Amino acid sequence: MAATPLFRRIDVAPAYQKVADAIEREIINGRIKPGEPIGTEQQLVAQFGVNRSTVREGIRVLEEGGLIRRDSSRRLQACLPRYNKLATRLSRALILHEVTFRELFETSMTLEVASVEGAVERATDENIAELAGNLERSAAVVGNPAELAELDAEFHVLMAKASQNRVLQLAREPAAQLFFPTTEMIVGGVPEGGARLIEAHRHILDAIKQRDKEAGVLWTRRHLQDWRRGFEKIASLDRSVEHTYMEHAYAARQ
């Protein structure tokens, strides 16, 4: 720490970055609310006094960050960042860091248990109805690993939603996005895999209905341990989430 700095640190960020920062500030501190228009590119050009190309680069930054989007008619508006999109970025990062399935499993175990605890405490009737709907649809496709895996992922998303904790919802999503795509392989590869999965879901839902935290935690643990056993028949937990595997997960995104 220099004593009494003589000069202020000079700011040499490129113009497009300053444009993005300026708009971001307005959104973050609430002067522009989600859903409200940002203005046309022409207006931004006039306000910032920079070229349209520069404005557009700034817009791309904000768009990728999820802070703004184009509505049906391509006009710019502020918006709430979608968990899904953010989580995709994170999943991507985890893949590049070559994390192992053990890390994913351990973290998911923690977060899913927290999730079910929250759901047991705070699930609304509507949450329970959604979970019940999911369970019903799952039972109908017990023999179809692909569809069952998708419904399994949805079940866990609904459970996190039922916990009424949005921080938890966001925190669990990246791991889940990487974790659940393997479900298909596992359900398909284990005899009675589909049936066991649905049984676990049923017990979890019952526990949430009964507000029975212990049962909820117990069956969530079992459910994930089942996944683990299935996975270990295929590969080591210490294998890293691979690049090639990612191509799957990516094809599914919109």
Partner DNA sequence: AATCTAGCTTTGTCGGACAAACCGATAAGA
Partner DNA sequence: TCTTATCGGTTTGTCCGACAAAGCTAGATT
When the beta carbons of 121 and 212 are compared against its own copies, the nearer one is: 121
List the one residue out of 93, 98, 96, 101 whose CA is nearest residue 238.
Answer: 101
Contact residues toward its own copies (CB under 8 A) are 16, 25, 27-30, 34, 53, 56-57, 60-61, 63-67, 80-81, 83, 86, 89-90, 92-97, 99, 103-104, 106-107, 110-111, 114, 118, 165-168, 170-172, 174-175, 243-244, 246-247, 250
Instruction: List the one residue from 4, 29, 72, 244 that touches DNA (CB under 7 A).
Output: 72
124 binds DNA (CB under 7 A): no
Residue 29 vs 73, nearer CB to DNA: 73
Buried b (16+ CB within 10 A) or exposed e, 52-67: eebbebbbebbeeebb
CB of 17 to DNA, least distance (A): 7
> Which range of residues in 68-76, 109-117, 186-194, 212-220 is near DNA by CB under 7 A?
68-76
The angle formed by the CA atoms of residues 118, 124 and 126, to the nearest 5 degrees, is 130
Distance CA 101, CA 99 (A): 7
Helices (H), the chain: 15-28, 41-48, 52-65, 83-96, 101-122, 125-140, 145-162, 166-179, 183-189, 193-210, 213-234, 243-252
Q: How many distinct helices (H) and strands (E) make up the chain?
A: 12, 2
User: Does residue 56 interact with DNA by CB under 7 A?
Assistant: yes
Residue type, 9: R
User: For residues 124 and 189, which CB has a smaller minimum distance to its own copies in the complex?
Assistant: 124
For its own copies, which is the closer residue by CB, 97 or 229? 97
The one of its own copies, DNA, none whose footprint includes residue 29, by CB under 5 to 8 A per kind, is: its own copies
Decide if residue 15 touches DNA (CB under 7 A).
yes
Residue 171 binding result from DNA, its own copies, none, given CB thresholds of 5 to 8 Å by partner type: its own copies
Which residue carries 């970055």 as its tokens?
A: 17
Cβ neighbors of 205 (< 8 A, separation 6 or more) are 128, 131, 132, 135
Query: Collapsing DSSP states into helix, strand and coil, what is residue 232?
Result: helix
**Which CB, 74 or 191, lies closer to its own copies?**
74
Per rule CB under 7 A, is residue 51 in the interface with DNA? yes
Q: Should residue 73 be labelled a site residue for DNA when binding is judged by CB under 7 A?
A: yes
Q: Give the binding site for DNA (CB under 7 A).
A: 14-16, 40-42, 49-54, 56-57, 70, 72-76
